[in-house]
Amino acid sequence: MHKILIIDDLRENVFMLQHRLEKENYIIFTADNGDKGIEIAKQENPDLILLDIMMPGKNGLVVCKELLEIEATKNIPIIMVTAKVGADDIKIGLEAGAFDYIKKPFNQIELIARVKTALKYYEARKIALDVEKRNMFAATVVTANHKIRQPLTLLNLTSSAIKKELEKDEISREVVLKKINFLEIAVKEINDVLKQLQSIKDPVFSEYANDIKMIDVDNENGKS
């Protein structure tokens, strides 16, 4: 069941919106000012926000911008609710990050149609983000496996060589130190790969095998 947050300082507006939307079986949260609305949005994670523009204190445009800057709320679609629907007003609202506009007084059919459109957008975006996260995770695993395999092999071979050396009656300190140096090189290579993966913010993907992708770490390093 979808959750909708209404942010409006006028009680009669909130009542009309809430009454109509509850008929569609939406779960409704309300706030009578911008700051309270932002807090509820962070706590309840609604699927849609209906936001009045003309409010005392923080107006809807300011609230909209703040919501889009917060990690927990930046992907929630926002529909501006206002009596101002001139071209300039719409432009300002969309530039602030609003998904859509609803004009006061409300046309109930139009209201529900726009709400449903925004919720479909939210669902599609959530699916896209989930797929992106899964692909990113898979590519990270493939990249780590590809990049770390060689130093892990070096670690394994070197540790075996050290064991054999320690089993001898006469142990060569020089040989052991040389092997330890190989261990240190392998550990450094693994740490470098992990640091590279951790620092990536805008990943570039390359083909690995059989439609499997990996993160192009060398390309990322070139970009930075």
Q: The domain that contains 68 carries what CATH number?
A: 3.40.50.2300
Q: Going by DSSP bridges, is the β-strand pair 205-209/212-215 parallel, antiparallel, or unpaired?
A: antiparallel
The residue among 106, 139, 170 that closes a domain is: 106
222 — pLDDT class (breaks 50, 70, 90): very low
Considering only CA atoms, give the Rg of the chain: 28
Task: Give the residue from 72, 106, 140 where a domain finishes.
Answer: 106
Which tens digits make up the pLDDT trace of 58-79? 888 899 999 999 999 998 999 9
Q: Which of 33-37, 126-130, 165-169 has the lowest mean pLDDT?
A: 126-130
Domain membership of residue 117 (yes or no) is no
* This model's pTM is above 0.85: no
**Which residues touch 78 (CB under 8 Å, ≥6 apart)?**
48, 49, 51, 64, 67, 68, 97, 98, 99
CB atoms near residue 159 (< 10 Å):
14
**What is d(CA 218, CA 102) in angstroms, rounded to the nearest whole number?**
48
Q: Do residue 143 and residue 102 come from a single domain?
A: no
* Residue range(s) defining the domain that contains residue 28: 3-106
**Residue 123 domain flag:** no
Same domain, 90 and 164: no
Q: Distance between CA 94 and CA 145 in Å, rounded?
A: 44
Report the 10 Å Cβ neighbour count for 212: 10
Look at the chain and report how many structural domains it folds into: 2
56 or 142: which leads in pLDDT: 56
Residues 99 and 139 in one domain: no
Residues 25 and 79 in one domain: yes
- Give residue 215's pLDDT: 60
Among 98-107, 141-150, 193-202, which is the least confidently predicted range? 193-202
Cis preceding linkage at 151, omega within 30: no
Task: Examine the pLDDT at 214 and tell me if it is beyond 50.
Answer: yes
* pLDDT over 80 (residue 111): yes
Residues 182 and 89 in one domain: no
Q: What residue type is 55 in one-letter code?
A: M
Residue 160 sits in the same domain as residue 214: yes
* Digit-coded pLDDT (tens) for 23-38: 999 999 999 999 999 9
Q: Is the pLDDT of residue 144 over 70?
A: yes
